[in-house]
Structure 1
Amino acid sequence: MKNNYRMPKSWVKAAALCALTGMLAVGCKDGDDFWDTFIPETDDEPTSSQIEGFVFYPAVQPASDANVAKLKVPAGFTITKFAEGVGKPRILAVNANGNVYVSDREAGIVVMLSDKNGDGVAEDKKTVANIKQVHGLHIYEGKMYMVAVNEVYVADMNGDGTLGQPKMLISDLPDGGQHPNRTIAFGPDKKMYLTVGSTCNSCPEPNPENATILRAEPDGSNRKVFAKGLRNTIGFGWHPTTGQLWGMDHGIDWLGDNEQKEELNQIKQGADYGWPYIYGEGKYNPGDRPQGDTTYAQYLQKTTLPALTYQAHSAPMSMAFYTGSMFPGDYSNDAFIAMRGSWNRSSPVGYKIVRAHFENGQPVRFEDFVTGFIVDNNRAHFGRLVGVAVHKDGSLLFTDDTNGVIYRVAYK
Structure 2
Amino acid sequence: MPSMKTIVWSAAISLLATSALSTAASAQNAPGNLEKLGAFKTTGATPEIPLVPQTGRKADAIKKNLAKVKLPPGFKISLYALVPDARHIAVGPQGVVTFVGTRKNKVYAVTDRGKSGVADEVKPFASTIDLAIPNGVCFSKDGFLFVAEQNRVLMFPAAEFFYESPDVVAVPIVAQGDLIPKEEESYNHTARVCRIGPDDKLYVTLGQPFNVPAPEKAELYGKWGIGGIVRFDREGKNREVFANGIRNSVGMDFNPKDKSLWFTDNQVDGMGDKIPPGELNRANQPGMNFGFPWYGGGKVRTAEYKDATPPETAVAPQVEMDAHAADLGMTFYAGKMFPKKYQGAIFSAQHGSWNRTDPIGARVMLTTLKEDGTADKTEVFAEGWLTPDGEYLGRPVDVAVLKDGSLLVSDDFAGALYRITYEGR
User: Same fold by TM-score, threshold 0.5 exceeded?
Assistant: yes
> Could you tell me which amino acid in structure 2 is paired with residue 365 of structure 1?
K
CA distance in 2, matches of 1:161, 1:113: 13
**TM-score, normalized by length of structure 2?**
0.77
1:122 maps onto 2:119 in alignment: yes
1:165 maps onto 2:169 in alignment: yes
- 1:176–1:198 CA contact under 8 A, matched in 2: no
Secondary structure of 1:160's partner?
Answer: helix
Give the 3 Å change call, closer, same or farther, for CA 378–410 of structure 1 in structure 2: same
- 2:268–2:297 CA contact under 8 A, matched in 1: no
1:135 aligned residue: 135
1:395 aligned residue: 406
2:108 aligned residue: 111
- 1:176–1:197 CA contact under 8 A, matched in 2: no
CA distance in 2, matches of 1:409, 1:266: 26
Q: CA deviation at 1:300?
A: 4.8
1:275 maps onto 2:275 in alignment: no
CA distance in 2, matches of 1:194, 1:65: 34
1:49 aligned residue: none
1:254 aligned residue: 270
- 2:93–2:139 CA contact under 8 A, matched in 1: no
2:150 aligned residue: 149
Secondary structure of 2:101's partner?
Answer: strand
Residues 56-75 of structure 1: per-residue CA shift (max 9 Å, x gap): xxxxxx95433221111110
Residues 191-234 of structure 1: per-residue CA shift (max 9 Å, x gap): 11110001101113343221010011111111111111100111
> Could you tell me which amino acid in structure 2 is paired with residue 203 of structure 1?
P
- Write out aligned runs for 1:179-258 (5 A): 179-204=189-214, 205=217, 206-208=220-222, 209-258=225-274
Which one has more relative contact order, counting CA pairs under 8 Å at least 6 apart?
Answer: 1
Higher strand residue share: 1
CA distance in 2, matches of 1:113, 1:322: 21
- 1:63–1:382 CA contact under 8 A, matched in 2: no
Residues 23-82 of structure 1: per-residue CA shift (max 9 Å, x gap): xxxxxxxxxxxxxxxxxxxxxxxxxxxxxxxxxxxxxxx954332211111100000000
Q: CA deviation at 1:372?
A: 0.3
Give the 3 Å change call, closer, same or farther, for CA 199–332 of structure 1 in structure 2: same
1:88 is aligned, of 64, 85, 88, to: 85
Give the 3 Å change call, closer, same or farther, for CA 159–389 of structure 1 in structure 2: closer
CA distance in 1, matches of 2:299, 2:194: 28
1:5 aligned residue: none
1:320 maps onto 2:320 in alignment: no
- 1:348–1:378 CA contact under 8 A, matched in 2: no
- 1:213–1:226 CA contact under 8 A, matched in 2: yes
> Could you tell me which amino acid in structure 1 is paired with residue 132 of structure 2?
K
2:386 aligned residue: 374
Secondary structure of 2:251's partner?
Answer: strand
Residues 264-302 of structure 1: per-residue CA shift (max 9 Å, x gap): 111231111111112444332112357xxxx42xx2523
Secondary structure of 1:258's partner?
Answer: coil
1:70 aligned residue: 68
> Could you tell me which amino acid in structure 2 is paired with residue 210 of structure 1?
I
Give the 3 Å change call, closer, same or farther, for CA 251–144 of structure 1 in structure 2: same
2:394 aligned residue: 383
1:343 aligned residue: 354
Residues 156-210 of structure 1: per-residue CA shift (max 9 Å, x gap): 1256351732111112112443200111111111111110001101113343221
> Could you tell me which amino acid in structure 1 is paired with residue 74 of structure 2?
G
- 1:203–1:288 CA contact under 8 A, matched in 2: no
Give the 3 Å change call, closer, same or farther, for CA 191–65 of structure 1 in structure 2: closer
Residues 124-167 of structure 1: per-residue CA shift (max 9 Å, x gap): 12222242221101111211100101100001125635173211
1:13 aligned residue: none
Give 5+ residue unaligned stretches, structure 2: 1-59
Cα RMSD (Å): 1.8
**TM-score, normalized by length of structure 1?**
0.80
CA distance in 2, matches of 1:160, 1:194: 25
Q: CA deviation at 1:396?
A: 0.3
Higher helix residue share: 2
CA distance in 2, matches of 1:378, 1:176: 37
Q: CA deviation at 1:378?
A: 2.6
- 1:109–1:128 CA contact under 8 A, matched in 2: yes
CA distance in 2, matches of 1:195, 1:257: 26
CA distance in 2, matches of 1:358, 1:409: 21
